[in-house]
Structure 1
Amino acid sequence: MKILFVHNYYTRFLKHFLSENKEKIACTDYKSHKKLLFDQLFSVSDFYSQGVLRNGHEAIDVVANDWILQKKWATEHGLRITTYPPIALESRIGQQIFLHTWMEKILEIQIKEYNPDIVYFLDIESFSFNLLKRVKKNKYTIIAQKASPILSSENYRMADIVFSALPSMVGAFQKKHIRSHYLPFAFEPSVLLKIPKQKKKYNCTFVGGFSKIHTLGNKLITEVSKCVHLDIFGYGKEMLPCSSEAYQNHHGEVWGKDMYTVLLQSNMTVNRHVDMAGEYAANIRLFEATGCGAMLLTDKKKNLGELFVDNKEVVSYTNADDLVDKIRYYTNHPRERDRIAKAGQRRTARDHTYTKRMKEVLKFL
């Protein structure tokens, strides 16, 4: 079986990647450029495809909205692309303008060239319904996944299966007669081999964004920062009041390797879920944080016990006051904190890897 994974990266990360690697990118071919991109360990990188390979099947990745990378593929395959977008497509509207003229045209040719059994869209909403219809017409199986707010539900009807880390979203898809299955996120253990060993630098961190879909989390982190020191990393600093402790202790955006480095340097790290997650624990930070050996302080959810043992592998909190109390307690009880952190890391290494997740995916195909 052969699976083609189609990625759609944050434009903010792609801008950062280009600015940090401009000279290297200018003189590399498609293969080297893609390797350099995945070596940044952004998002799920090539973790899904590597998990498939470890399970004895073929897999390949395409980052459909990295136009510099895709232009190289097109050029190396004798394609003449006449219209190029600006380097940063700042919105979905901007992306939509160029879908047919470049992103989808190249992707469609790549699909035919690779001829996979399955096209796995990691962000199916970024592509047009007409493209998906053509992919479907050519007898390719389409898989999608989603665990964040849905902007447009139409495309999911073209998927043969939709995986979600949110049990509530699985149920919502099934009610619409869309085949859907639960699939939690995971951690890739090889990350620990790709980043130098780190000394602990931060007592407690928060790594994540401030945005309109995190209103509860925005308020939580702002309130907690008034009482205890949090070193904060991520996007959305501009949403914070300039006079707030959270703003003053915000160190800016970190992506990929830099994010993992911060987690490796953290004794403890705070996790909070997107508002729409409701009563379910589902985000990827659960596994990134524990995988890196930080003690995870995460919002209490009814399914957390299915993933980790509370107070033994992770520590849950119920509100801002509870979180403040627990940060203070584990700051003053480092041996207990480190014991929980190590237990959480062992659990993630045992049960929450992409090799295991892809084994589950393959059972449904």
Structure 2
Amino acid sequence: MRLIRISTNYPAYIQNFYGQRSALATQPYAQQYQTLMADCYSWADFWTQAFGKLGYEVWEPVGNAEPMQKMWAQENGVSYEPKTWLTDIVAAQVKQFQPDLVLVNDYATYSRSFFTHLRQICPSIRLVIGWCGAPYSGYENVFKAYDLVLSNIPSFVTDFRTQGHKCEHMHHAFNPAILKRIKQEQNTPIDFSFVGSIYRAHNFHNQREKLIKQLVAATDLRIWANMMQLSAAELKLLPLKQQVYDLVQLLKRLPLGQTVLPYLPKLKSYARMTNRPGLEQYVDPTIVARAAPAVFGLAMYQTLADSKMALNNHIDISKSYASNMRLYEATGVGTCLLTDGQDNLADIFEPDREVVTYTSAAEAIEKVNYLLDHEPERQQIAIAGQQRTLNCHTFDHRARYLDQLIKKNLA
């Protein structure tokens, strides 16, 4: 069978990736694709490798990798609209590939109408499978386009089934091939690290921010994070932006103001704002002061591999369930993982033998300090965690599981 996985990568990663490889954007599609996949960001081409062993043909184009996608369009004589190039090119790729299966792990970019269009131009499609592992408020409609929904969060599975969707639970995974692409040193230079995102919004990383703030105060936690932060210049401008916002809100309440505002283009963005500019969405300055820029792909795996211990903390919406990628990324590269003690963690790893758990900041601090002072115990946990991941949590394991779900849903 043929499977195409359509996705997008985090925009900051795409920008960083091409920024470090300025000549790549003009190279042929195949070379750009190979180079991008070799960096092992997110799922990369891991499904291609895993499903290939089961006899599938797989292609995993990245919809928002603009230079690569537009090069493919140029090489294949595909035209597209400037404003809709992303979906136009992906639709052309699906039509050319003629897949039996579509796997999509971006519910925000690809709409329900997009999948209706795909089925019209590509009758070979027998099954559309959608992945959801993050808050999806505002995007509920797209799930009606999926024949099967997959989620790593058990509560999501319950919710989707209640809404009438076919939904199955599937854990994230690790690709052992990564171990051949990173350096694994005996003397790891980083004692304790956090690599990830800190996004202050409803159902995202509010508890994570509170925890990390306490760890920053009590440990030498090193941070590589993607987060909202104000520059010194932006902080100085904030009072002025607040005054402009207040003025615009006053004008909107006045009859004359509604007439005047359309002729003041510099104020249009303020007229569209639903909240007064403030500090609510910005991460605590004590965390920002400790943080280095986010790392992605192989650089992220290398940072984890260079760490004696790595911190994991789940997104707020998965407050009771162990579900995220870091569980497998950190253990997979042989790092001793410190993770929040979720209800189902024992189904995935043996707590305090394969990973280290905490239920409070105080316990996390205590366990970090103890294990950094007791190297043999830390190493023993790191080795056991890695073995569990390699034995039970690889993309090969997940592909076999998903293959059974596919056959069941096609029967």
Aligned to 1:223: 214
Question: What amino acid is aligned across from residue 348 of structure 2 in structure 1?
Answer: L
Query: 1:84-163 residue pairs with structure 2 within 5 A?
Result: 98=83, 101-137=84-120, 138=123, 140=125, 141-151=127-137, 152-163=139-150
Corresponding residue to 1:205 among 188, 193, 196: 193
Q: State the SS of the aligned residue for 1:154.
A: helix
Cα displacement (A) at 1:181: 0.4
- In structure 1, what residue type is equivalent to 2:302? T
Shift of the 201–76 alpha-carbon distance from structure 1 to 2, 3 Å rule, reads same
- The answer to whether the 8 A contact 2:352-2:381 is kept is yes
Of the candidates 344, 347, 355, which is equivalent to residue 388 of structure 2? 347
Amino acid in structure 2 at the alignment position of 1:252: P
- Deviation readout 1:274-331 (Å, 9 max, x if unpaired): 0000200000000000001111100010100000000110011001111111111111
Q: Which whole-Å deviations, capped at 9, do the CAs of 1:111-150 have from their partners, x for residues lacking one?
A: 1100010011011321122111122343511111111100
> Match for residue 188 of structure 1?
175
Report the Cα offset of residue 7 of structure 1: 1.5
Q: What's the TM-score once normalised by structure 2's chain length?
A: 0.82
Distance 1:224 1:197 in 2: 26
Whether 2:29 is the aligned partner of 1:35: answer no
In 2: Cα distance, 1:72 partner to 1:24 partner: 11
Amino acid of the structure 2 residue aligned with 1:207: V
SS of the equivalent of 1:190 reads helix
- Unmatched segments (≥5 aa) in structure 2: 230-281, 407-411
Pairwise CA distance, 1:56? 2.2
Q: Hey, what's the Cα distance between the residues in 2 that align with 1:40 and 1:249? A: 26
Instruction: Identify the residue that residue 266 of structure 2 maps to in structure 1.
Output: none
| Number of the residue aligned with 1:214 | 205
CA distance in 2, matches of 1:354, 1:225: 34
Amino acid at match of 1:274: I
Q: What amino acid sits opposite 1:343 in the alignment?
A: A
* Runs of 4+ off more than 4 Å: none
Q: How many residue pairs end up in the alignment?
A: 346
In 2: Cα distance, 1:51 partner to 1:298 partner: 27
Note the aligned Cα RMSD (angstroms).
1.3
Percent identity of equivalent pairs: 29
Residues 306-345 of structure 1 mapped to structure 2, 5 A cutoff: 306-345=347-386
Worse-superposed segment, 346-355 or 119-128: 119-128
| 1:4 and 2:4 matched | yes
SS, match of residue 31 in structure 1: helix
| Contact persistence 2:112–2:144 (CA under 8 A) | no
In the other structure, the counterpart of 2:275 is none
TM-score (norm: length of structure 1): 0.92
Mapping of residues 144-293 of structure 1, within 5 Å: 144-151=130-137, 152-198=139-185, 199-212=187-200, 213-236=204-227, 238=229, 239-242=282-285, 244=286, 246-293=287-334
Partner of 1:13: 13
Indicate the SS of the match to 2:168: strand
The one-letter code sitting in structure 2 at the alignment partner of 1:150 is Y
Larger radius of gyration: 2
Deviations 1:152-197 (A, max 9, x none): 1111111011111111101111111100001000100000101233
Q: Which amino acid aligns with 1:217?
A: R
Q: Which moved more, 1:49-58 or 1:281-290?
A: 49-58
